[in-house]
Amino acid sequence: MSKKNKHTSALSEQKGVSDPEMTNISSIKNIRNKRRSQPSAEDLISGILKGDVTALSRSITLIESTSSTHLEKANAIIKGCLPYANKSIRIGITGVPGVGKSTFIEAFGNHLTQLNKKVAVLAVDPSSSLTKGSILGDKTRMETLVKNTNAFIRPSASGDSLGGVARKTRETIILCEAAGFDTIIIETVGVGQSETAVHSMVDFFLLLKLAGAGDELQGIKRGIIEMADTIAINKADGDNLKQAKLAKVEFNRALHLYPNKDSNWQPKVTLCSALENEGIDAIWELILAYVNTTSTNGYFENKRQEQNKFWLLQTIEERLKSDFFKQAKIKEALKKQIVLIEAGKTTPFAAADYLLSLS
């Protein structure tokens, strides 16, 4: 045994620690040191461009962070990745809870990877308004897709603001595209407001429906129907197949009552069974047909340009709001105004005018 080893062994014996335990302690220290040494923005950009999902995940975490230090680093990463973005098909998928979104996305994602596509799934999970917690269970529900080397699944909590998460989702899209993912799927929480936010950042919007839900003639929310480029009636299998076919007829009738879209694309209604893996390929063919139609008539590129303008204004509004509430004098004055409102000595509108006059 060398002098160094003898010294280490003696030290271990003095402290009552065995050699294996010393090795474990050393390993833990190494892990901690690696965690403390954060990669630079340049390192993360380089990793993303090489398709490194670890670098991609760490960068997305920076984007989602509320730390001002992280924001600066995240902006540098987005700027570095931007020249390599905009080379994917962005698909929004929505539907009421229980419609089978996760099962559908898993079947759809696996189908695309079999076509040599690289698929990124960005799923927004609703947060509790009380505990602020979120289950983030999409990776658990998509058991086979999560193991697919050509797929990347990233669940995010919606938090207090769907708009804020939507903005971060949009920035995440840029990073995923730079990492080589050519098909981006965004799953919404299915609560109304999120659909509008997601629609403003995707090329194609797919609405999943269930047969026999009682809203075929009503066409559910008019806004969501108008946003949909295709309606897919899921769980069209077994005893439910007959109902699904009837629902398809009703939805086709409903769609003809809506005005023509600027894209010159006539929304379709189709049947599918994610569980039985049926009709999934037909939906992909519809998406390709849509992209071909809108690319030919110029709508595809125009829509993306309009989306960029929309997100410019949204980002300015959110930044102004954030900067406003960060001011120390606003924080203090806000507390006093709330007390006055509770005492009935001022109105919310007068309080807002006063606070705005301070900035």
At residue 247, does pLDDT exceed 60? yes
pLDDT at 287 over 70: yes
pLDDT at 97: 81
- Helix extents (H) in the chain: 3-15, 19-36, 41-49, 53-64, 68-81, 101-114, 138-141, 162-178, 193-199, 222-227, 241-255, 280-296, 299-326, 328-342, 348-358
Whether 8 and 102 map to the same domain: the answer is no
Q: Poorest-confidence range of 50-59, 148-157, 208-217, 299-308?
A: 208-217
d(CA 74, CA 300): 28
pLDDT above 90 for 353: yes
Residue type, position 118, single letter: K
Place of tokens 């797929």: 151
110 belongs to a structural domain: yes
Say if residue 354's pLDDT is above 70.
yes
Whether 243 and 330 share a structural domain = no
pLDDT tens digit string along 155-203?
876 554 544 456 788 899 999 999 999 999 998 866 556 677 788 899 9
Answer yes or no: do 258 and 281 share one domain.
yes
What average pLDDT does the segment 41-67 reach?
94
pLDDT at 289 over 90: yes
Please indicate, yes or no, if residue 254 is contained in any of the structural domains.
Answer: yes
Sign of CA dihedral 216, 217, 223, 229: positive
% of the chain exceeding 90 in pLDDT: 57
Residues 134 and 180 in one domain: yes
pLDDT of residue 281: 97
**Report for 162-166, 228-232, 312-316: range of highest mean pLDDT:** 228-232
In a 3-state reduction of DSSP, which class is residue 107?
Answer: helix
Confidence tier at 272 by pLDDT (50, 70, 90): very high
Residues 102-139: tens digit of each pLDDT:
899 999 999 999 999 999 999 876 544 343 333 444 55
- The share of the chain scoring above pLDDT 70, in percent, equals 77
151 and 113, same domain (yes or no):
yes
Instruction: State the pTM of this model.
Output: 0.81
Residue 97 lies in a domain: yes
Residue 29: which pLDDT band, with cuts at 50, 70 and 90? Answer: low
Instruction: Let me know whether 280 and 323 are in one domain.
Output: no
pLDDT band at residue 218, thresholds of 50, 70 and 90? very low
Q: Is residue 182 part of a domain?
A: yes
Average pLDDT of the chain to the nearest whole number: 84
Q: What is the pLDDT of residue 151?
A: 96
Domain count, the chain: 3
Residue 74 lies in a domain: no
Mapped onto helix, strand or coil, the DSSP state of residue 110 is: helix
The closest of 322, 18, 302, 349 to 163, measured between CA atoms, is: 322
**Residue scoring higher pLDDT (148 or 260):** 148
The parent domain of residue 322 ranges over 307-358
Reported as type and span, the H/E element at residue 83 is none
